[in-house]
Copies of this chain bind each other. A is one copy, B any other.
């Protein structure tokens, strides 16, 4: 299907990157969004949202990868998750105190839709099925992230690195060929370790034939072994 290059002329109705929840909106509701949304294209390594900034829009990620992070009390960054396409940025803040809890930065080139948050909330309030779908998807993401962190706490370095690789394979790329757009330091910020430890473990996994690296790309040869390490260390 041929798409016009300038997506801003494309009606939300015909958007190829539409979210599941949007499918539950009727024509009038979709029109409302269409009239109150902005499309944006963003380059890699660009700041999108800052922790502490007020929530004015719901941001729908149509394509690309985004890192969600926070600054810890020791002034180090802590990466919370990699946001994939067809997700919303900062959604948890929309239903809270109206300030963004985390920061977002593009890891690749992106396509975003900004939807006015008051419009979005009025849709939630007026369409119970849409609300339910939003509730369900927000809850699923929250639970998955929460589970990752509560699982991380008592793990030693090998399990943590295995976890990260499995995360990219299972959740982000759905593939064993990983094109991870993160430095070793960033992987460390995600795993809760140091960049030196990340390097040592990756070198070890390579020497054991569990993975293969080529530049930034990692190929998982033995995911069973990784899962075992994830569980038992």
Q: Which residues of A contact B (CB under 8 A)?
A: 70, 72-74, 76, 78, 80, 92, 95-96, 101, 121, 124-129, 131-132, 134-136, 138-140, 142-143, 145-147, 149-154, 192, 231-232
Complex Cα–Cα for A138 and B141 (A): 13
Using Cβ atoms and an 8 Å threshold, which residues of chain B touch A154? 72, 74, 76, 78, 192
A111 to nearest B CB, angstroms?
A: 26
The 8 closest A-B pairs by CB, nearest first: A131-B131, A95-B139, A125-B128, A95-B136, A142-B142, A149-B149, A153-B192, A128-B128
Using Cβ atoms and an 8 Å threshold, which residues of chain B touch A142? 92, 139, 142-143, 146
Complex Cα–Cα for A56 and B43 (A): 46
The answer on a CB contact under 8 Å between B125 and A129 is: yes
Closest to A134 in B: B135
The answer on a CB contact under 8 Å between B131 and A78 is: no
With A150-B149, A154-B192 as contacts: A131 and B135 at CB distance below 8 Å: yes
Complex Cα–Cα for A46 and B36 (A): 52
The answer on a CB contact under 8 Å between B121 and A125 is: no
A228 to nearest B CB, angstroms?
A: 11
Using Cβ atoms and an 8 Å threshold, which residues of chain B touch A232? 73
The answer on a CB contact under 8 Å between B139 and A131 is: no
Complex Cα–Cα for A153 and B76 (A): 12
Using Cβ atoms and an 8 Å threshold, which residues of chain B touch A147? 101
Complex Cα–Cα for A78 and B150 (A): 8
15 A–B pairs (Cβ distance < 8 Å), ordered by A: A72-B154, A73-B151, A73-B231, A78-B153, A92-B139, A92-B142, A95-B140, A96-B143, A101-B143, A121-B132, A125-B128, A128-B128, A131-B131, A138-B139, A149-B149
